[in-house]
């Protein structure tokens, strides 16, 4: 369903590949101009941009490290310069910090995980709210934060730090959904299960089988299934939904 103001852009962090790329492409099909933010692998980001343009939508690719505030500000400045306004933000960029038991966890791993998964989305939400708030002259908008089923199970022995960061992201989303509702901004979460991306492909067969044994539907999800949920929450069909956590996890 096309957006009402097609000149207002959707910003997707981590949009160059995997789930983020599919969100960007399906959003373009829905009529959004899409800003794809990537940290590395420019070739994959450019491929995503080509798919956006194939669907008749406007697009922009920006390189940025979302763990750095200056890069975040530069991204939003670029959106201001290129588009009439901001329709929404999808905070998809994430880092798992690397596998580690707590006794082996390094401070640098913890810092990277929280800077990318908590601080960056918080700052992006701040910048988005400043632009979209109807009280500040904006036209309202939508924020969708991408979380993980790890937030509920804690991921003991491998990614407690990652699980904790995603739990923090969900708490932030709930609070902001209430704080920003009067500003015409909806905030929701899509919580992913085991999705068929290179992240899970790199786990090794034993770890993957362990994960799959916990999924009632007994299969991995696809990036398109996540992207479809995100585009729904962005759309006018979800106009009375805020503060929700939508599980795309096969029953996990």
Q: How far is it, in rounded angstroms, from Cα 185 to Cα 132?
A: 7
Going by the DSSP 8-state scheme, the letter that residue 93 receives in this structure is -
Contacts of range 147-155, beta carbons closer than 8 Å, 24 or more positions apart: 147/173, 147/189, 147/190, 147/191, 147/192, 147/245, 148/94, 148/191, 148/192, 149/191, 149/192, 149/193, 149/194, 149/247, 149/249, 149/252, 151/191, 152/191, 153/214
Closest C-alpha among 180, 85, 88, 76 to residue 137: 85
Q: Is 162 a catalytic residue?
A: yes
Catalytic residue, from 32, 38, 119, 162: name it.
Answer: 162
Active site members: 162
């Amino acid at each position: 369903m096309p957006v009402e103001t097609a000149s207002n852009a959707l910003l997707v962090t981590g949009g160059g590949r995997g789930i983020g790329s599919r969100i960007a492409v399906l959003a373009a099909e829905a009529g959004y101009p899409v800003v794809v933010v990537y940290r590395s692998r420019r070739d994959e980001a450019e491929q995503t941009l080509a798919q956006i343009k194939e669907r008749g939508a406007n697009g922009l690719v920006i390189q940025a490290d979302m763990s750095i505030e200056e890069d975040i500000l530069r991204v939003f400045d670029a959106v201001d310069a290129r588009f009439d306004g901001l329709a929404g933000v999808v905070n998809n960029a994430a880092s798992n910090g690397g596998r580690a038991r707590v006794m082996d966890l390094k401070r640098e791993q913890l810092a990277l995980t929280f800077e990318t998964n908590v601080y960056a989305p918080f700052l992006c939400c701040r910048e988005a709210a400043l632009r979209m708030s109807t009280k500040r002259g904006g036209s309202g908008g939508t924020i969708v934060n991408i979380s993980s089923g790890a937030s509920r199970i804690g991921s003991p022995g491998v990614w407690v730090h990652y699980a904790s960061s995603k739990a923090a992201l969900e708490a932030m989303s709930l609070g902001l959904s209430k704080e920003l509702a009067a500003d015409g901004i909806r905030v929701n979460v899509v919580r992913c299960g085991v999705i068929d991306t290179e992240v899970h492909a790199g786990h090794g067969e034993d770890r993957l089988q362990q994960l799959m044994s916990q999924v009632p539907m007994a299969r991995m999800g696809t990036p398109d299934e996540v992207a479809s949920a995100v585009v729904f929450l962005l759309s006018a069909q979800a106009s009375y939904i805020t503060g929700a956590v939508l599980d795309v996890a096969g029953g996990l």
